[in-house]
Structure 1
Amino acid sequence: MVMQGLTWKSLKKNPSLMPLFFFVGAGSVMALVYVIRLATRHPEVTWTRANKNRPWDAYADNKQYKLWSDTIDYKNLPPIPAPKLD
């Protein structure tokens, strides 16, 4: 037996549940996309096994990793040298 509201027939009887399913589904997808973005694009996460001692050196000096930057065009800025950590 399926719970009420989870089949198309019962969802037609309760149209107020449709926005609930839509927004919960959209929020879940957005959260999943953001976690995948953090795991693949963030400079503190590395998936390579080359250079095990210093994985943070694989990150480029002038690379932008902000989610949203509307005010500054990072392509026109001079590169900032990475700090020496030794």
Structure 2
Amino acid sequence: MLALLRKQLSTHPALIPLFMFIGGGATMSMMYLARLGLKSPEVCWDHKNNPEPWNKLDPTHQYKFFDINTDYSKLKKDRPDF
């Protein structure tokens, strides 16, 4: 399979950027999914020790990937303690 791919790329070098962009896009999408699964407060992998991890977050904790106008250091707590 790999030998066939190498033969195709050597005879058609215009396919090299196509494979590079498809590979880069697949890599970036897998990295983003891994980040969502590991860093997002809505995802709970350990249901026995900490079933609600979103309740233990500080209100100044930035968990969004990109936010333009919010200064997280000046936020006040707007939810009760449980």
Which band: TM-score by shorter chain?
A: 0.7 to 0.9
Structure 1 stretches lacking a partner, 5+ long: none
Report how many residues are paired. 81
Quick one: distance in 1 between partners of 2:14 and 2:4?
A: 10
Equivalent residue runs for 1:19-34 within 5 Å: 19-34=17-32
- The 1:71/1:29 distance shift into structure 2, 3 A limit, reads same
Cα shift readout 1:33-80 (whole Å, capped 9, x = no counterpart): 11011111111112233133x3321322211112123554434x2x42
Question: 2:82 aligned with 1:83, yes or no?
Answer: no
- Residue 38 of structure 2 aligns with which residue? 40
Q: Percent same amino acid at aligned positions? A: 33
Structure 1 or 2: more helix by fraction: 2
Structure 2 stretches lacking a partner, 5+ long: none
> Superposition RMSD on alpha carbons, in Å?
2.6
More relative contact order in 1 or in 2 (CA 8 Å, sep 6+)? 2
- What is the TM-score normalised by the length of structure 1? 0.71
- What is the TM-score normalised by the length of structure 2? 0.73
Kept after mapping to 1: 8 A contact 2:59/2:72: no
